[in-house]
Amino acid sequence: MPDEAHSQPPASVRSLWRLRGYLRPHRRALVTMFTASIAGVGLSIAIPLVTRAIIDGPITRHELAPVLPLGLLALALGVLEAVLIFVRRWVQSNAVLGLETDLRRDLYSRLQSLPMSFHTRWQSGQLLSRATTDLSAIRRFSGFGLLFLVINVLQLLVVTIVLLTMYWPLGLVVAAAAVPIIWLSMRFEKAYVVISRRVQDQQGDLATQAEEGAVGIRVIKSFGRSDHVARRYDAAARELQATSMDKVRLSAKFWTFLEVIPNLAVVVVLLLGAIGVGRGSLTPGELVAFITLMLSLVWPVSSLGVILAMAQEAMTAATRVLEIFDTEPDIVSGPHRPDVAARGHLRFEHVDFAFPDAPDQLVLHDVNLDLAPGETLALVGATGTGKTALTALVPRLFDVTGGRITIDGVDVRDLRLSELRSLVATAFEEPTLFSMSARENVTLGRSDAPEEEVLAALEIAQAGFVHDLPWGLDTRIGEQGMSLSGGQRQRLALARAVLSRPAVLVLDDTLSALDVHTEKLVEQALSNVLSETTGLIVAHRASTVMLADKVALLQDGTITHVGTHRELLDSVPAYRELLAADPSDSVEELAPDAGRRDAAAPARPHATGPSISREVSA
């Protein structure tokens, strides 16, 4: 999580108010809820007044006949109140669950639209806690806290007015009891909002550690660091426990005070009421009604602590969620659609790039490359020279700092993001697979692909192992594909990229985890695919370089040499040294064969459109 998120200003009502748009689709439900609740308040006041009429009327006069009708009236009012409570809860559940669903959908959509620069700054656990814990806090307050905050305050006001009307000395006692409650609530609010934010942030940090422990379990076990990781997690959990206990202590003090005040008020009312009845200024029925109404205020007052705590948590949650909604993406979709028959002519024109968090440190500078349609270029360079950063610029995972990248003469920043990312497919060195079936992972970029093309893509990537899984292609491969080996994950990711039939195929050292034999088979099959698409390959092995028509050497963030493998091998010592460092290939053995991809070799035909439906050569 970025430091600025921890230094956000305290939450306020304005944070919740900004989310009011999510209540608009549920206006009818809200009106029904509040109508039923207000009617319930009226009934809860009417029942004690009916009781007063019974006591001061037929009971005082010893008349039994009117008791039954008045008793049935009180019963009817009680049943009606119960029906209204049922209606309110039924409508309330549908409305608040709908609100939470809409918020969750929009939050997830927002996270998907934010660029890589955002996701590299934020911990995944912090994002997860906002999408789960914080949304639940908003739902609870919207469905319960907000309603009863309004209704309880309304009930307090109305009942106090009724009590003042019935017997003003006792009514003043009730009104006076509200003064310390208001004062204490204001102090509680200021302290609780700060500690509530701290707890929610620490929950996000703890969620990050839990996720990292689950995802990295193989590394943790292989290094025997389970105890170390457990101690770090336990320390974070204890820190959260200590902060949560501070929060509980603060709440307990406030709630205890709220319990004491109404009970003291009841004692005072009983004493003064008995004196009033003795002096004849108050009837027995009025005293009973007064006490009943007074007791009806105990729950609204005592629940005020819970509701205010819920409100503060919801305001804090809304503030945390709005931190995501308020983040403006720095990569936005352009206005243009690419041509239907995209040729895949890729150009880098004086490209500079620096990561957003270090704008003064150029990773790439003055990069110039020209890949003709159907041409394959191998990008070679030492570790840390910016190869991965360069490949990430093509699909706009990051945007260039200077210069431009074009496809078929159109700046990639002018293309619609969805269209650009259908033109460009990338297979990364560290493949990401999802907790879904092997088929769903392979067809992620093209869900409508026919079965024969899926099988062809798997054959190209030498990923036939999927057919040996318990349920074949429909086997769920587990979170991040952890049930597969590194080479198997890379081959599935490569099949996914090939299946999308891109105009530009970017391979970021995609074959690094393959054994020499499998790599050779994949390269033979890939040569057919690359003959029909523009390819940009990050290469560390001489054998991978042989897939390319030409090679670009990246040094110190810029392209220093471009030529065929043989030309660079003969004239650039730095290039020769890079490939000679690879123990799996012999540069001397590969050099004589380089003619199949150098300028002396017959030119490959440039396809007008990418396809993988042709037969794969063995």
Condensed to tens digits (0 to 9), the pLDDT of residues 559-584 reads: 999 999 989 988 999 888 887 765 55
Distance in angstroms (rounded) separating the CA atoms of residues 115 and 107: 14
Q: Give the per-residue pLDDT at 40.
A: 86
Q: What is the pTM of this model?
A: 0.70
Q: Give the per-residue pLDDT at 504.
A: 92
Instruction: Output the CA torsion sign for 17, 19, 21, 25.
Output: negative
Q: Give the per-residue pLDDT at 262.
A: 77
Q: Give the per-residue pLDDT at 11.
A: 65
The first and second tokens of residue 393, run together, are 């610029």
Distance in angstroms (rounded) separating the CA atoms of residues 35 and 28: 10
**Rounded CA Rg of the chain:** 35
The first and second tokens of residue 26, run together, are 């549920």
Q: Are 497 and 427 in contact (CB under 8 A)?
A: yes
Distance in angstroms (rounded) separating the CA atoms of residues 445 and 467: 21
Residue of 482, 480, 219 lying closest to 228 (CA atoms): 219
Distance in angstroms (rounded) separating the CA atoms of residues 467 and 459: 11
Q: Give the per-residue pLDDT at 586.
A: 45
The residue written with tokens 């293309």 in the block is 415
Amino acid at position 43, single letter: L
Query: Which domains does the chain show, CATH number per domain?
Result: 3-325 (1.20.1560.10), 346-432+500-596 (3.40.50.300)
pLDDT, one tens digit per residue, over 103-122 is: 999 999 998 888 888 888 88
Residue of 574, 527, 515, 570 lying closest to 380 (CA atoms): 574
Distance in angstroms (rounded) separating the CA atoms of residues 225 and 219: 8
Q: Give the per-residue pLDDT at 484.
A: 83
What is the DSSP code (8-state) at residue 361? S
Residues in the chain predicted with pLDDT less than 50, given as ranges, are 3-7, 585-618
Distance in angstroms (rounded) separating the CA atoms of residues 430 and 479: 14
